[in-house]
Structure 1
């Protein structure tokens, strides 16, 4: 396995994969080794820094813009964790930010690649633009002007929240910046550029509102406001040509939204809405009400919006808690005989071995999330080569689930243990050791997720099988009996709990001795059970 690239003090930030590249910079998905979390790292390419003086200027601008980004203080802007000029390499600048898993509006507007563009429901478009307004209102209050607002810089996260990217550093990382004179510069993207920005006149928050009008028009019409053959034509259209009213392109667009788009696209800044809050107020009638049902995705041209998460959720279910149900594990399909190759490809064998070793090292240092992701990466490759039910693949999945459980990520570990238990039960039998181990771990996860009743039932069922096969005195049986006793107490069944733990204590005195650490632990549990406090379940 290739050595991951590390930057920062003592190699704190580990770069895993490049996810975006531009003329002046690259964006990487990585990990913070100290906090064990995914991050996005934006790097300035060293080859674009021509001199130490230029590097120093970049460093000053980078630090200033990073501070401004951090000051915005809104969840719709990816959080800034660190901004660094690497002292070991003076021309290496980087910004460490929150990593957002989301879908770009550009991907949605591009469509499936067959020439068709799926138009978003009106409420979806309004919800996206309304969330952008909220972000802009926070930025403009500083004041900060984005200057490059466009679908490429907007993500919709998995929970439907909108994230606006590249505040402040867009002028450093954009490849489509055109410098005009030494005293003025045109910074932005020509397809979304307001007339005053084209003319190198004063840029204000109203300039962002023009770009927002371009985004609103494109979300509702499925095409840009202007589509010149070259940059000169585009700039001329923004300066001189009136935009087409939305209802001439899509009749079902409400009149209020058509009027709002035209006002945002006014050539003169003073003729646009006064601020982002005013835009939000005009969008409000087109937003779903709290408690309302989701719009169906019967899109005008068919298809779906490229898997776009529902951006109306934040208005239909404001401040909703995390869903209580655990997402189901991917279906493994029917169990069929899988041909096992005569030998495992050497590269795959080495990748599996390295993933185990790398994951173990990460888990040992408390970096459980990254340790699990290392295993996840090789599982997909191994499953393709060996089959989903190959013993090596199942072993990798068990190890990943165990790592998640060790890192107390019970929400993700539980469905994997459930799925593995089902596979082992079908292939090796319900009494197989692997089946029972996965069921036991699943019960443990449920207990820690507050699902005490279901966890108790599963512990008892597994204990029955283990006891029938090996008696009540095996190491596994003793552990299960302890879990049953504690969960009985948590369910308020004190008499039953005392009976289970009392019998367990007697057996452990015989098997391990009264002074053994685990025997004393059960004695303490009984003392607390019989006293005023009682044991603490998990």
Structure 2
């Protein structure tokens, strides 16, 4: 691991360690180019077993960092840089340095927090999650250690996307007993090895809100496996049993967040926020305002008591005179509309764009590829029509770029429309129609629409398997996704049966070392440990 004074890529000097954990270290650093302090997260080199795995890990790391960088909210520290360092052979993420107190320290020092304070923390986290889930980005490891309360009381959620990076070798990780997420805040579907969705983050939020209100974790235990077993099988004790002054409606919300089945939890972070609003402090712009003293604890209710307030003045500072009124701005004439290009010019441009986008996708510049395609399709569709052959090919490229870049919300309707187009033009069972329907179902699964995704995978399998056989590549992929979603939705016995069958067929068709075979084996191994 790096030491104090090291420079990452000759630019980011590590000045002092901030924290260390299972995934690596966080350092306070200095950007010598832009003359500013930053935070540098360094992933341990031991995470990857060999060079090929390290390259895969680095690619996932860059991809997750790019997706995380699209969360535009002040509650998420800005991402400045992400790459693999050639000298140290380590992954690093350079981001905004947040000055404040970890939420875990606030709980440890204060114990059960006042209701308004606990709710203010949870409501701010909900606001962040609403923006993240819209990208969509799932945190997967939400816990007090990944939440900071800044000096002004604003809440910052750290380490979005970091947990997803470590899925590169799930077999090796689970063989040593490690799982993504911290077990005290881990939702049942992640304990079982299922796909994490927006509802998974809401469960972890429920665990934190429970702890903020009671001073205790939802499920204590002598070992990680005991705690994880509680998450899967044990009903939580109501908050009001431990703290009767908590309003009944807030207790109901916590229990709703802690539902075992992800589809029985609140519909989204916005809904949770709406149910927290009645317990937030009312705005009071005239109230006294000051930052906490050195070493003091910040107040998470301040953003609600003093919404959009400026930074508090230093003690004794006098108010300044109001700024002079801004002069009136001159009127500007509306620009003339651009002339539409000819059909021939557009078709030539589409051919050039197709080549350019292919290179961008190969270089994993997915957001840039989607942006280029947005621009050209906005002009091409009105002129040539959405069903023009060249337009369709670019729409398909855009769907691919969006899904590879993690923007499943935008990719989903594009895949669905393209599936309908290919079904009408080439036949309902044509390769491209089926592939687009498969990708649409995968987008739904990533968006947490598990029941609909499961139904769409099952419908696809009834089309594919009778014609191609159970060991066809697409059939195998569909069967694996069906087993995973059954596990995610708590249908454990059926998931075990289906995963056992598809694992045997994957091993026979693709070999035991194929990534799909290893993935099925890992899911079965998790099921075996849970049964034990």
Using structure 1 for the length normalisation, give the TM-score. 0.54
Q: Does structure 1 residue 311 correspond to structure 2 residue 300?
A: yes
- Could you say which residue in structure 1 is the equivalent of 2:405? none
**Which one of the candidate residues 246, 264, 267 is aligned to 1:271?**
264
Superposed CA deviations along residues 87-144 of structure 1, whole A, max 9, x for unmatched, are 345x222111000011111112223xxxxx5321110000000000001011111111
Give, in whole Å, the separation in 2 of the partners of 1:23 and 1:190: 13
- Could you say which residue in structure 1 is the equivalent of 2:18? 19
Give, in whole Å, the separation in 2 of the partners of 1:263 and 1:253: 15
* Cα deviation, residue 3, structure 1: 8.2
Give, in whole Å, the separation in 2 of the partners of 1:78 and 1:181: 30
Change over 3 Å in CA distance of 1:257–1:29 after alignment to 2: same
- Could you say which residue in structure 1 is the equivalent of 2:355? none
Change over 3 Å in CA distance of 1:307–1:244 after alignment to 2: farther
* Cα deviation, residue 226, structure 1: 0.6
Q: Does structure 1 residue 241 correspond to structure 2 residue 234?
A: yes
Superposed CA deviations along residues 24-67 of structure 1, whole A, max 9, x for unmatched, are 31111011112221100111233554432122112101101111
- Could you say which residue in structure 2 is the equivalent of 1:95? 93
Change over 3 Å in CA distance of 1:269–1:87 after alignment to 2: same
Matched ranges for 1:153-192 at <5 A: 153-172=146-165, 186-192=179-185
- Could you say which residue in structure 1 is the equivalent of 2:120? 127
* Cα deviation, residue 86, structure 1: 2.3
* Cα deviation, residue 230, structure 1: 1.2
Superposed CA deviations along residues 363-405 of structure 1, whole A, max 9, x for unmatched, are xxxxxxxxxxxxxxxxxxxxxxxxxxxxxxxxxxxxxxxxxxx
Change over 3 Å in CA distance of 1:181–1:18 after alignment to 2: closer
* Cα deviation, residue 327, structure 1: 4.7
Aligned partners of 1:42 and 1:94 also within 8 Å? yes
* Cα deviation, residue 241, structure 1: 1.1
> 1:152 aligns to what SS in structure 2?
helix
Matched ranges for 1:144-159 at <5 A: 144-159=137-152
Give, in whole Å, the separation in 1 of the partners of 2:222 and 2:59: 38
* Cα deviation, residue 170, structure 1: 2.7
Give, in whole Å, the separation in 1 of the partners of 2:277 and 2:20: 37
Gaps of 5+ in 2: 323-532
Matched ranges for 1:344-493 at <5 A: none
Aligned partners of 2:57 and 2:166 also within 8 Å? no
Aligned partners of 2:183 and 2:224 also within 8 Å? yes
* Cα deviation, residue 275, structure 1: 0.3
**Which one of the candidate residues 326, 337, 343 is aligned to 2:314?**
326
CA RMSD of superposed structures (Å): 3.1
Aligned partners of 2:214 and 2:243 also within 8 Å? yes
Aligned partners of 2:4 and 2:15 also within 8 Å? no
- Could you say which residue in structure 2 is the equivalent of 1:505? none
> 2:69 aligns to what SS in structure 1?
helix
Change over 3 Å in CA distance of 1:207–1:73 after alignment to 2: same
Using structure 2 for the length normalisation, give the TM-score. 0.55
Superposed CA deviations along residues 330-378 of structure 1, whole A, max 9, x for unmatched, are xxxxxxxxxxxxxxxxxxxxxxxxxxxxxxxxxxxxxxxxxxxxxxxxx
* Cα deviation, residue 243, structure 1: 0.7
Change over 3 Å in CA distance of 1:103–1:181 after alignment to 2: closer
> 1:71 aligns to what SS in structure 2?
coil
Change over 3 Å in CA distance of 1:108–1:450 after alignment to 2: closer
**Which one of the candidate residues 196, 206, 209 is aligned to 2:199?**
206
- Could you say which residue in structure 2 is the equivalent of 1:258? 251
Higher relative contact order (CA 8 A, sep 6+): 2
- Could you say which residue in structure 2 is the equivalent of 1:77? 76
Aligned partners of 1:14 and 1:30 also within 8 Å? yes
Give, in whole Å, the separation in 2 of the partners of 1:16 and 1:123: 37
Q: Does structure 1 residue 68 correspond to structure 2 residue 56?
A: no
Give, in whole Å, the separation in 2 of the partners of 1:206 and 1:216: 15
Change over 3 Å in CA distance of 1:173–1:27 after alignment to 2: farther
- Could you say which residue in structure 2 is the equivalent of 1:6? 7
* Cα deviation, residue 158, structure 1: 0.4
- Could you say which residue in structure 1 is the equivalent of 2:519? none
> Deviating runs (4+, > 6 A) in structure 1?
292-295, 449-452
Give, in whole Å, the separation in 2 of the partners of 1:208 and 1:22: 21
Aligned partners of 1:171 and 1:188 also within 8 Å? no
- Could you say which residue in structure 2 is the equivalent of 1:31? 30
Give, in whole Å, the separation in 1 of the partners of 2:179 and 2:92: 24
> 1:215 aligns to what SS in structure 2?
helix
Aligned partners of 2:166 and 2:180 also within 8 Å? no
